[in-house]
Structure 1
Amino acid sequence: MTSNEPFQHKRSLYNTCDPHYLRQMREAAGMDWVVLARIACLSVAQVQALERDGDENFFYSDAIKRQAYKRVLMVLGAEPPTVEMPEALHDVDKVAEAHRDTLAQIVAMSEQPAMGRSNLEWVRAGLSSLQAHKQLLSVLLLLTVAIVWFVLRSPQISVQAVPAPQTFLPPTAPAPAPAPAPAPAPPASVTDVPVVSSVGACAYSNEPMSELTSFVARKEGRYVYLVSTTDTEVCVVDGNKEATRLQLKAGEDRSVHGIPPWQVSGSNLQKIQIYFQGGRVSLPDNASRVKLVEVPVAR
């Protein structure tokens, strides 16, 4: 094997996402799927998909799959493919000659006469500017003295608290009768209260919301893929009313698996890119909660 063959071998592993190599690395490290997925910020299904051949349903593109594959290998301690050194850097004499030329150019530049004026010329220019603004400085000085004199000569005004007037009731006056208590409000109708499946803000809701579908359905609606452009929090609820709260950072992407229809809500929903059934979903303006409805896959 030549010196370039190991580099090409490592590069092919990363480009093809070799599942057998990943399985060997994980078994050698003694790490299961759950721990590896938690450290690599992936789902267990995505880690399992990387160890199987031909399973592309858990990644939207090959580039995202290669990034996840590289991230998992880095967690397992694999060495990334190094950058091959150019042929020009193999010749030691040429590298030394290039360094000598660079040092010679630096020395030549240091021997050039300094540009600009001397220190004496800078001092003369400053004095000339001071003479030109002498009258303005005098006016400012007089104005400052006048303000200080006015503040010192102004009388100090002391303000004493005035006691509030007291109101006395005649001794024979009866005490005012207490106001009658307001009648209790009728209980709210059961149909007016939103039904949620769990405690907390992240839960299933039966409130009316915008129903969205994928423009071209290329995949089944078994999961939702989210990409955040800012630090935010988003709630994802599937058809079984299973709620998942995600804390996303800027540039972070996550997938949530389940069954449709889906409910996605958040305060910064416009800052999140939502992909469903293989395509990006267009969000309405000022929407804080949307519903993703599955459509038949285009054949």
Structure 2
Amino acid sequence: MTDDTPTETPTGTKENKPTVEYASDKYTTEERLRQMQEIEEEIKRRPLVGLKEGSFSSLKEELKGTPPFTRKIPHLETKYSTIRRIRGDGNCFYRGFLFRLVEILVFQKGRGETSEFNRVKKKFDDAMGYLTEVRYNQNSIEMFVEFAVEYFQNFPRSLSEVENFFNNPQEAMFLVWFCRLLCGGYIKHHWEERFQWFVEESKHYIDADDFCAREVEPSDMECEEIQVIALCEYLGVRICVEYLGADLNSDTTVTHYFGPEDKEAEICLLYRPGHYDVIYKK
């Protein structure tokens, strides 16, 4: 008898028909669940924001055995020198974007350049009024908005402070969720003329509130193009996203830009299906 031979479970009655269970199907399901659990546990062991790495070696190691991805890394290395790995927990875009933004502002302030810091800070300061205009309840969001405003009032002075903050799960998540609110607010403000056409008809969103409640506001919900556009445009920040795709006919990444065209894209992120990391130009 092979492993694929069905075995009947003797639970049949007049009301209930016997069930048939395939041992191989059960094994496959259990094996998949075990593998998924192992992956989740491995992800949880990683820092929320990793140290800046001097090469793309860890990425090559992670992607080994997937030639469509690894064959594009040499092209990536011609433009970027280092990578900072971000935990893949559904918040990687927001966390990577925020970390790099704060990192840049810290370096600028250290050189005595404060204009960009002051501009972004005002966006944070104005957030409560902006969000309540589109029906966000002030009592529900006040804690997150106040935390973000206070973070800019007591802004870090060194990279080590930034790294320590973003690896504190409780504090960092307050800032991440604040950015989800900014995305939701911008999408609601510009839904009809800017974003409604992005949405897949098959998903049947009632309106902007429904879309944001399902796709933007929940913690760990992965970020799609709409959220990237919304956050960049609200904050007035231009970013570069290098797409590491599975195209078998290409040896290069595909570059996408988001945000105001008159700004330089200092924030660079590496995207592969389902995940973002921070990358640094040469």
TM-score, normalization: structure 1? 0.21
Is the helix fraction higher in 1 or 2? 2
Tell me which of the two structures has the higher relative contact order, counting C-alpha pairs closer than 8 angstroms and 6 or more residues apart. 2
TM-score, normalization: structure 2? 0.22
Bigger Rg, which one: 1
